[in-house]
Chain A
Amino acid sequence: MTNNQPLISDKANIPFYRDERIIKIFAQVLSAVIIVGILIWAIINFFKAADARNMTLTFSFLKESAGFPISNPPIDYDPSMSFARAFQVGLVNTLLVSGLGIIFATIFGTLVALARLSSNWILSRIALVFIEFHRNIPLLVLLFLWYFVVFGMVPQVKESIKWPGPIFLNKRGIYIAWPRLTETGGIFVIMAAIGILVSIIVFIILRKRRKITGKATYYLPASLGLLIVFFLFGWLLSGGTPFQMDIPSFTGINYQGGLRLTPEFAGMFLSLSLYTAAFIAEVVRGGIQAVDKGQIEAARAIGLPPMQVLSLVIMPQALRIIIPPMISQYLNLTKNSSLALAIGFQDVFAVGKIVINQAGRAVPVFALIMLTYLSLSLLTSFVLNIYNRRIQFVTR
């Protein structure tokens, strides 16, 4: 090597406007200035407007009396209670409709996916029609179809539709006979809870031993047996009547007793879960179809019974593909529950909307609503991502 000079010198005469490091620092500062500048400008504007319109920015109003009624609150509420309590009512409603919606949508969506994969042509086509119908209309239209059209055709209280159960259906809602705890029912519930806990522990321990030692430990029958014993014991302790059926009865004006679902709740729940079920069905179908055919054939070839082919070979592999899009479907469902506003179901957003309309508290109320949904989303994705990480392949 005769030429000792490096090809590119650190101190080459690069003009500063072409020096990558300087450009980066400049871009950094510039973007920071623009973003912060816009924020400051917006905040100054806001304070000007806030002074003029006498708006508050604090959350102190939450302790004041709300003063507006909420129909059919799931927890104790009356207008004299605080704004904070009103928000809690909304939050419980949101959680209730999205939690139940997620459970129902998952079960129903999986069934539709299985029907779609069925070898029976008619069943598969019915599932296809269900999926294509729900995936291609806006959720709000589906909600209106259920709430205004289907529940709009339901008769008045006096001509209630009676279904076996008994279930009564009228303009005021759906009334379902529902078991309620009797005075001694508490003992049964406690015993049942202990039983569930014990049997889960026994199940885990025995299954672990089975995995380590390879010997049959009969973990499933053992834990199930324990569960039944505890249930029986609790039932005997409570004098044989832990529950009593609470049957709705007609009192001349309306039905009393039983479990009452308002038309708003029922419409919201049905449209949300059916809409999401169509998307979940596609997710599940995709997951099952993505499992390599050779895997199933190999499992059959080594003589696994069909149930074990499903539970040991297909499901673990399909779940890896299903879980991530499923998480986003669950998040969508929770966020979509905010459409409740359109039919007057009092979820957290609808309650917030009332508060905004009542007084100039738009900004704190809005911050509260956004924070609620953000933490719901983050919490759901956090929990499900932990589960997701457990079932994914370990890559090193």
Chain B
Amino acid sequence: MINTEIEQEMIKPPLPPGPLKWVKENLFSSIFNSVMTVALIPIVFYLLFSVVSWALFSADWRAVTQFPLLYTVGQYPRDQIWRVGVILSSIFLFLGISWGRWGGLLRSISLAAGLVCVVTALLPVQHPQLDQGMRLFLGSNTVMILIGYFIGRIKAVKASVIVVGWLLIPICAVVLLAGIENSELIPNVPTTLWGGLLVTFLLAAGGILLSFPLGVALAFGRRSDLPVLSGFSTIFIEVIRGVPLVTILFMFSIILALFLPVESRIDRLVRALMAVTVFSAAYSAENVRGGLQSVPLGQIEAAKALGMSNLKTTVFIVLPQALRAVLPAIAGQFISLFKDTTLVVIIGINDFLGIGRSIINSDPEFVQLRTEVYIFIALIYWIFSYLMSLASRRLETAMGISDNL
């Protein structure tokens, strides 16, 4: 009897602080704090008010709202733009399928993507580039996500099929975007016409997909007991990490051509992608190496004792533990790769930032509107990298490796 009474006493959680108590504890806990609060509140309100009133009333967003297609796909031929649409729709379809299969974080992403599509499709404004077809396309993307969701719920659809599909999308996307020579349906589109968010995402996604395996290979190379291999990997990693990305970009855009046969020509965008990949791979390699070092030797010995081959030990025992341990670092590396893709502007590629710059420079009138354009660009980059860091934090919590336990 007494025990249960005590237990009831004990399991009572402390009451959440009331609003008044919260204010007292967080804003007026001491004289110094109170003074600071009183001084800061008007400043914060003044700043918020001036930013909001500027954005709503005095800012001229023409240079942003006039060119939605330029910002998204650059100068990609307007009659071929359906190719980008097909890629986008298939990405949405697979997003929906993955949501149906795994749920969790993918659910939030799918819902957010669908919501953005619906809201854009129903925007009550007249815009030449937001015609009936575009609205229909955006609306159908929402349907795509839903169709995907129901496909994903079917048990017969195997997870491996979905993963293979995800890996096939980038390859198909590149083929579809570049087109095939002498083809009626999908003629060649030179990469000089690609631009905007399309290029930013291609560089970021391509860089992530290619740099990660290369980074893992380099990490194993550095830990290898073959002196030639480990020496080469170490020098490669340290040199790349010791110089800025701009240098690597220039190396691939100017110097690389000198060391290849005269007649060979590598596309400008591909060279940029190679530079971003190599740069990011060196950093990923160091992250992965940290993970490899954190795997206890006993695990490897146990796997060997069970008679697993070297390859099997690496793939099924070492790598999963190593990658899990350094997932936050890898996620951070991917976010910084996404931000670093902006540097391709310096070698003259029109990514999202580059398109903004060319719009500003295209018309003396728009030079006066550069504030709006740059703030818009900063906002878009901010939203995407913030979402990426949010996703990585949710993933860490889901996998139980969050450090803020």
A interface vs B, CB < 8 Å? 24, 27-28, 31-32, 35, 42-43, 45-46, 48-50, 52, 55, 119-123, 126, 132-133, 135-142, 144-145, 148-149, 152-153, 335-339, 341-342, 349, 353, 356, 362-363, 366, 369-370, 373-374, 377-378
Contact = CB atoms under 8 A, between A and B. Distances in A.
Contacts of A373: 242-244, 247
Given A35-B228, A43-B259, A374-B243, A145 B381 contact: no
| Most A Cβ at <10 Å: residue of B44, B226, B246, B261 | B246
A366 B255 contact: yes
Contacts of B27: 120-122
Interface stretch (B67-75, B167-175, B180-188, B339-347): B339-347
A278 to B, nearest CB: 12
Given A32-B228, A35-B228, A366-B251, 14 more contacts: A42-B259, A120-B27, A122-B40, A136-B339, A138-B341, A138-B353, A140-B353, A141-B377, A144-B374, A149-B371, A341-B346, A349-B246, A370-B247, A373-B247
A48 B262 contact: yes
B336 to A, nearest CB: 9
Interface stretch (B8-16, B29-37, B208-216): B29-37
Contacts of B241: 377
Contacts of A122: 27, 36-37, 40-41, 44
Contacts of A55: 258
B229 interface: yes
A45 B26 contact: no
B239 interface: yes
B320 interface: no
B340 A138 contact: yes
Q: Report whether over half of chain B's contact residues are helix, strand or loop; otherwise say mixed.
A: helix
Nearest to B387: A136
B342 A138 contact: yes
A323 B172 CA distance: 46
B381 to A, nearest CB: 5
A338 B342 contact: no
Contact of B26 (A119, A133, A153): A119
Contacts of A374: 239, 242-243
Contacts of A42: 259-260
B226 A338 contact: no
B251 A126 contact: no
25 contacts: A24-B225, A28-B227, A28-B228, A31-B226, A31-B229, A52-B262, A119-B26, A119-B33, A120-B26, A136-B382, A137-B381, A138-B340, A138-B342, A140-B346, A141-B378, A141-B381, A149-B375, A338-B247, A341-B246, A341-B346, A349-B246, A366-B251, A370-B247, A374-B243, A377-B242
B261 A366 contact: no
Contact of A336 (B40, B244, B341, B386): B244
Contact of B339 (A28, A137, A366, A370): A137
A49 B228 contact: no
Given A119-B33, A120-B36, A141 B374 contact: yes
A126 B245 CA distance: 31
B191 interface: no
A139 B339 contact: yes
A378 B242 contact: yes
A145 B258 contact: no
A126 B242 contact: no
Contacts of A137: 339, 378, 381-382, 385
A27 B229 CA distance: 9
Contact of A138 (B239, B261, B381): B381
Contacts of A353: 250
A236 to B, nearest CB: 41
Contacts of A139: 339, 342
| Most A Cβ at <10 Å: residue of B241, B342, B385 | B342
Contacts of B232: 31, 35
Contacts of A140: 342-343, 345-346, 353
Nearest to A374: B242
A166 B253 CA distance: 47
Nearest to A376: B242
A308 B346 CA distance: 50
A338 B44 contact: no
B140 interface: no
B102 to A, nearest CB: 26
B244 A120 contact: no
A336 B339 CA distance: 13
